[in-house]
Structure 1
Amino acid sequence: MSPSPLRPAVPLRDGDLLAALDLGSNSFHIVVAQRVLGQLRVVDRLRETVRMAEGLNALGGLSPEVRERALACLARFGQRIADIPPQHVRAVATNTVRQLRDAESFLRPAEAALGHAIDVISGREEARLVYLGVAHEQPPRDDQRRLVLDIGGGSTECIIGQGFAPLERESLQVGCIASTRRFFANGKLGRKRWNAALHEVSAEFQQFASTYRSLGWDEAIGTSGTHKAIGNICAALKLTKGAITLPALQEVRERVLQSSRIDAIALPGLSDDRRPIIAGGVLVLEAAFTVLGLERLQVSKAALREGVLHDLLGRGGIDDPRDVSVAALMQRYGLDIAQAQRVEDCALELFDQVATPWALGDDDRDMLARAARLHEIGLAIAHSGYHNHGAYVLQHSDIAGFSQQGQRFVAALVRVHRRSVPKSAFDMIPDRLLANARHMAALLRLAVLLHRSRKDEAMPGLRLRAEGEKLALRLDKRWLQARPLLRADLEGEPEDMLGLGIQLRIEAA
C-alpha cells in the first residue's frame, strides 16, 4: 500500500506560526517559527535550564524540587503557545521522561501546565528528528554522508545520514548530566577516575562503531549545548574558531583535569550554567572521538527542536513519516494489502458515521486507519493469538514518526481487534486518550468482523449509530441471512464489546 495521506494536510499560509518544544534532560526549549514565502523563519526562542536528569533517582522517581521546576517552566511556555493553533504545535519529551517509572504521573500535570499534549519519543526517534533539524539547517549534497552527534543531558544520539534521510540511528544511555552523576558523583576529578570512566563510555560506542566506520561519512557535526559549550571553550582558548578538533578536545580535557573538583573548573568561555555538567560532556565526546576515529567536528546551531518543526510540516500530508513507516512495516511483514484496504475502508466508513456523537477528530481517524492497515501484522509470527503478537511488535519496535504514546495506541487497537478484551488492554494509554481508544477499538472490531470472508462486496444498508456508550449496527436483513457465519459472529460480538464498556445492538432491517 502506498503511503498516501489519510486526510488533507492543514494548509499553512504565509504568516502562520508553528512551535516546537523540546523537553530535554538538561534544558527545556521552545522555538516559534513563521511561514514566510514557503519557508520557516524563526521569530522567537526560549530556553530554561531545568536539569530534569538531576532529579531522576535509581528507582525511576523524580524529586519534588525538579518536578516543580519543570512544571513552572511549562506553565511559562504554555503562555507563549496559547494563541498558536494546537495542530501547529508539538511538544516532545526525551530521555529523562522515558526513564520515569510512572511517566503518566508527571505527564498529566505537565500537560495541564503547558495546555498541550506531550509526546514521549524513543531514543531512535529522537535521533531521526535531530538529523532532520541539522539537515534542514545546513542542507547537504545528495551524495554527501554525515555523522551527527547529539550529547544531551541523559542520552547521546548518533546518526549517519545521506541527504535528508538518516541511514543509521543509535541512542546511548550516556549524557553530560548522567555521566557526571555516574562517574563524578562526589564532585571529585582525577586522571585515574577519568580513564576508568572513559573505558566504560567507550564500550557503549563500540557496539556500533564498526558498522558506522564501514559505512563512512564525509563530515561530522555536533549539536546540542554540550558541543556548543566545548566549541566556545576551544574558541576562547584560541585552539579553533569554534569547531572541535582532536588536539583541541585533548587540551580541554587536560584543562578540566587540572581541577581536583568539578566546582573548581575554570575555563574561558565556560558559563556558570554549564560548569556543573561539563566534565560528563567532555568525557562522552572524548569517547566518541576515540572510538569513531574523529579528527574534526563542526558545531551546528540546529537540534531536536528544529527537527520537530520541520517534521510538523510533513504531518497529515503525503510525506507524513508515520504513513511512510506503516507502508514499510506492511511490506516487511508481508501483509495482505487487499484485506488491509477492505478493513480500513470499512472502519473509516463507520468512523464517519459516529465521529460527531463521539467527538472524534482527524487525528483519531488517521490512527484508526493505521491500525486497520497493520491489524494482521502478527500473522507473520503465528495465526494463533496473532493479535497479541501484532500488538507486541508494534509496541516494542522503533517506528519512525511515532511517539511512544502513539505506538502504544495503535498496538492497543491491534490487541483488541478480535476475541475478548482483557482488562489490562489499555493500561499503557494516557487517560486523555482512553475514551477515544475504546471507541476506535469498537470500530476496528466491527470492520474486521464484517470482512472475515476477505471478499470485495457491498454491504447494503450498513449503518452505525452512537449514543453515549451505546452502538447500533444496522444491516440489510436478507443480505445478513445469506451469511450464517457472519450472523453467528455478530450474535457473539455484543458480549465481547462489553469489555470496551460499549453496549452493541445488531439490527436487521
Structure 2
Amino acid sequence: MSARNLDRQIRDGDLIAAADIGSNSFHLVVARYAHGELRVVDRLRETIRLAAGLRKDGTLARDRREAAFSCLARFGQRLEGFQSHHVRAVATNTVRQLSNPQTFLLPAETALGHPIEVVSGREEARLIYQGVAHGLPMNDDTRLVIDIGGSSTEFIIGQRYEALERESLQVGCIASSLRFFEDGKITAQRWQRAQAEIGVELQQFVANYRQRGWTEAVGSSGTMKAIGSIAQANGWCEQGISLEGVGKLREYLLRVGRIDALDIAGLSRERVGVITGGVAILDAIFSTFQLRQLTVCETAMREGLLYDMLGRAQHTDSRNTSIDALAERYGIDAAQALRVARTANALFVQVADAWQLDNHAEAILRWCAEIHEIGLAIAHSQHHLHAAYIVANSDLAGFGRQEQAQLACIVRCHRRKPEQASLRALPERMRGTTRHLIALLRLAVLLNRSRRDGPLPPLRVLAQGTDLTLEIAAAWLEHHSLARVDLEQERSFLKAIDINLQIVKRSDCKAVA
C-alpha cells in the first residue's frame, strides 16, 4: 500500500481510544464508532499523583515515574492491536513543567506503545470543552466550563461545540494542597492566604469573562465530581455544586483542621489527600466569578480527545482553521503560499513511498508551505527565524507542543543553512520525517523564487534513504541561471541535515503532473 494513501478514516464499527495522562490520574477510554456516534465500551483509570513527584528543579521523583510507566504499560496491553491513528495520548501540565520532558516521554511512549503529545494549557482547555459540550444536551446557551486538575485549572467559555475563550492557571488540587497545606494542617489563616493568592491569579481574566457572559456554569473532571458527591451526600444541595455547599464544605475542613483526619460522607479515601486544595480553588472561583451554582458533567478531556480524533478523520480538523487564521493575521502573500504549496505537494507525491511519508506528513508540509513567509510581517532580514518564533509561540488550536515545534523547525529551516539544533530538539521519532519535509519545502521555495504563476519546469525527484535526486530539464536550467546557482548551493545546505542532493540535467525530462 502506498505510504501516502494509508487509510486514516474512522469507519463504522472501528474502535478508537484516548489516553489522558493527567497530573492526578491517568485515564484510558475506548469507544466504538457506530451509526455516526461514539459509544464508550471500556474505561481504565489509575491515580498516579504525578504532580506530587514534581521537584523544584523540574525533575520527577523516581516512585512517580515508575508508577506512571507501570500504568501506561497496562494501558498499552489494552491497546494491543489498535492502529496508530486510532489512538491519541495526551500529557498535561506536570509533563509541561518538566525541565526535560523527553526523559519522561521516551520510556512512557515505549510503555504505552503509542506517541504521547504534550498539549499547552489552552489546548487542554479546548479539548476539555469538546468533551463537556458532547456530554451535555445541545442548545445555544453560552457555558462557562471549569476543570480543576492536579496541577492546573482550565476555564472555558463556549457555545455549542466552539470554545470562545480559553485560559489555564497553574493551580490544581495536588499543587494547591502542597502549596498551602503542606504539613496537613488546615487553618483559617492558611485558607485566607489561599483565597488571596488564587484570587490574584483569577483576576487576570475574570473581567473579560464576565464581559463575555455565560448562561450556565459547568464543572468537569474528578475534583468537581468529588466535591459534588460530598455536597449531595450531606444534603447541602440536590444536584451539582452550590454556593452553600462550598461554604459548608469549607466550614467542615476548617473544623476538622487536619487533612489526615478528614472523614465525611461522599469523600473517597483516594481523594482525602488532595480534596482540601481542590475546595480552596473552587471557593476562590465561586467568589471571584460570583457563582451560585455549578452543574457537574461526567465527560471531560478524554472524551474531547475522542471527538477531536473523529473530527480530524472527517475533515473538520481544527488545525486547518488555526493555520488559516495565522496566515491571515500576518498578512502572508496567499498567491505565493499557494504556489509553494502546490510545488511541495508535487514533489511529495513522487517520494512519499520511498520515504514512507503518510497523509499526516503531507498535511504538515502543506501547513508549513502556507505559513513559511509569516516572518516577513516583522522584517525581511532573518524572516525564517521570525517565522519560527511566531509558530512556536502562537496559540494554535489543535496542535500538540511537539507537533507545533515540528512546524516551527520546518519553517525555520526553509531558507539559508538549516539548523541542526532545532531538529535535535524534536522527539527522535519525528526527526526523520521532519528532515525530509524540510528538503521538499526548500526545493519548492527555490523553484518559486520568481513569485510568478506558471507551470513547474520539467523535473522528477527520486528518493532512497538519505539520497534525493532531482532530475530537471537541462534547457530550463540554461534559461534560469539564478535557479541553477541556487540548486548547486542547495546541495551543501541539505548536507547539513544529512540529505544528499544530486542534480541531474536531462534533455528528455518530462514535466511533473
Q: TM-score range by the shorter chain?
A: over 0.9
1:486 and 2:499 aligned: no
Cα displacement string for residues 80-110 of structure 1 (whole angstroms, at most 9, x for unaligned residues): 1112221111000000000000000110000
- How do residues 20-419 of structure 1 correspond to structure 2 at under 5 angstroms? 20-142=18-140, 144-419=141-416
1:470 and 2:467 aligned: yes
Identity of aligned residues (%): 51
Residue of structure 1 equivalent to 2:509: none
Contact 2:138 2:160 in 1 (8 A): yes
Q: Look up the equivalent residue of 1:15 and give its one-letter code.
A: G
Q: Look up the equivalent residue of 1:178 and give its one-letter code.
A: A
Per the alignment, in what secondary structure is the counterpart of residue 203 of structure 1? Answer: helix
Cα displacement string for residues 358-378 of structure 1 (whole angstroms, at most 9, x for unaligned residues): 122121111111111111111
For structure 1, list consecutive stretches of 5 or more residues without a partner in the other structure. 1-5
Deviation for aligned residue 1:292 = 0.7
Equivalent residue for 1:424, pick from 406, 421, 434:
421
Deviation for aligned residue 1:507 = 1.3
Contact 2:253 2:276 in 1 (8 A): yes
Q: Which deviates more from structure 2 when the two are superposed, residues 170-179 or residues 182-191? A: 182-191
Contact 2:142 2:157 in 1 (8 A): yes
CA, structure 1 residues 8+361, in 2 after alignment: closer, same or farther (shift >3 Å)? closer
Cα displacement string for residues 199-241 of structure 1 (whole angstroms, at most 9, x for unaligned residues): 0011111110100111110000000100000000001111112
Contact 2:5 2:358 in 1 (8 A): no
Per the alignment, in what secondary structure is the counterpart of residue 164 of structure 2? Answer: strand
Contact 1:9 1:317 in 2 (8 A): no
Per the alignment, in what secondary structure is the counterpart of residue 258 of structure 1? Answer: helix
Per the alignment, in what secondary structure is the counterpart of residue 424 of structure 2? Answer: coil
For structure 2, list consecutive stretches of 5 or more residues without a partner in the other structure. 507-513
Structure 1 segments of 4 or more deviating over 3 A? 6-11
CA distance in 2, matches of 1:493, 1:469: 15
CA distance in 2, matches of 1:90, 1:422: 30
Contact 2:6 2:358 in 1 (8 A): no
CA distance in 2, matches of 1:234, 1:146: 22
Cα displacement string for residues 134-156 of structure 1 (whole angstroms, at most 9, x for unaligned residues): 111113323x1000000000100
Q: Which deviates more from structure 2 when the two are superposed, residues 165-174 or residues 355-364? A: 355-364
Q: Look up the equivalent residue of 2:191 and give its one-letter code.
A: W
CA distance in 1, matches of 2:491, 2:109: 36
C-alpha RMSD of the superposition: 1.3
CA, structure 1 residues 426+348, in 2 after alignment: closer, same or farther (shift >3 Å)? same
CA distance in 1, matches of 2:105, 2:351: 30
Per the alignment, in what secondary structure is the counterpart of residue 147 of structure 1? Answer: strand
CA distance in 2, matches of 1:439, 1:8: 18
CA distance in 1, matches of 2:254, 2:138: 37
Per the alignment, in what secondary structure is the counterpart of residue 247 of structure 1? Answer: helix
CA distance in 1, matches of 2:411, 2:62: 37
CA distance in 2, matches of 1:139, 1:281: 27
Q: Look up the equivalent residue of 2:436 and give its one-letter code.
A: H
CA distance in 2, matches of 1:412, 1:383: 18
Cα displacement string for residues 239-266 of structure 1 (whole angstroms, at most 9, x for unaligned residues): 1123111111000011111122111112
Q: Look up the equivalent residue of 1:328 and give its one-letter code.
A: A
Q: Look up the equivalent residue of 2:139 and give its one-letter code.
A: R
Cα displacement string for residues 145-180 of structure 1 (whole angstroms, at most 9, x for unaligned residues): 000000000100000011110110000000000101
Equivalent residue for 1:15, pick from 13, 16, 20:
13
CA distance in 1, matches of 2:34, 2:347: 39
CA distance in 1, matches of 2:298, 2:28: 14
CA, structure 1 residues 482+330, in 2 after alignment: closer, same or farther (shift >3 Å)? same
1:452 and 2:452 aligned: no
Per the alignment, in what secondary structure is the counterpart of residue 158 of structure 1? Answer: strand
Deviation for aligned residue 1:427 = 3.1
Deviation for aligned residue 1:394 = 0.5
Contact 1:111 1:117 in 2 (8 A): yes
Deviation for aligned residue 1:9 = 7.5
Q: Look up the equivalent residue of 1:100 and give its one-letter code.
A: L
CA distance in 2, matches of 1:396, 1:139: 35
Contact 1:133 1:302 in 2 (8 A): yes
Contact 1:7 1:366 in 2 (8 A): no
CA distance in 2, matches of 1:386, 1:208: 33
CA distance in 1, matches of 2:494, 2:442: 9
Contact 2:10 2:313 in 1 (8 A): no
Q: Which deviates more from structure 2 when the two are superposed, residues 150-159 or residues 487-496? A: 487-496
Q: Which deviates more from structure 2 when the two are superposed, residues 58-67 or residues 338-347? A: 338-347
Contact 1:7 1:316 in 2 (8 A): no
CA distance in 2, matches of 1:14, 1:368: 30
CA distance in 1, matches of 2:461, 2:438: 14
Per the alignment, in what secondary structure is the counterpart of residue 79 of structure 1? Answer: helix
Q: Look up the equivalent residue of 1:286 and give its one-letter code.
A: D
Per the alignment, in what secondary structure is the counterpart of residue 81 of structure 2? Answer: coil
Q: Which deviates more from structure 2 when the two are superposed, residues 159-168 or residues 355-364? A: 355-364
Deviation for aligned residue 1:316 = 4.3
Deviation for aligned residue 1:424 = 1.2
Q: Look up the equivalent residue of 1:91 and give its one-letter code.
A: A
CA distance in 2, matches of 1:460, 1:384: 29
1:499 and 2:484 aligned: no
Contact 1:62 1:100 in 2 (8 A): yes
Contact 1:18 1:88 in 2 (8 A): yes
**How many residues were matched structurally?**
503
Contact 1:148 1:220 in 2 (8 A): yes
CA distance in 1, matches of 2:137, 2:398: 21
CA distance in 2, matches of 1:53, 1:351: 43
CA distance in 2, matches of 1:317, 1:381: 36
Residue of structure 2 equivalent to 1:3: none
CA distance in 2, matches of 1:122, 1:8: 29
Return the TM-score normalized by structure 1.
Answer: 0.97
Q: Which deviates more from structure 2 when the two are superposed, residues 237-246 or residues 118-127? A: 237-246
CA distance in 2, matches of 1:263, 1:17: 42
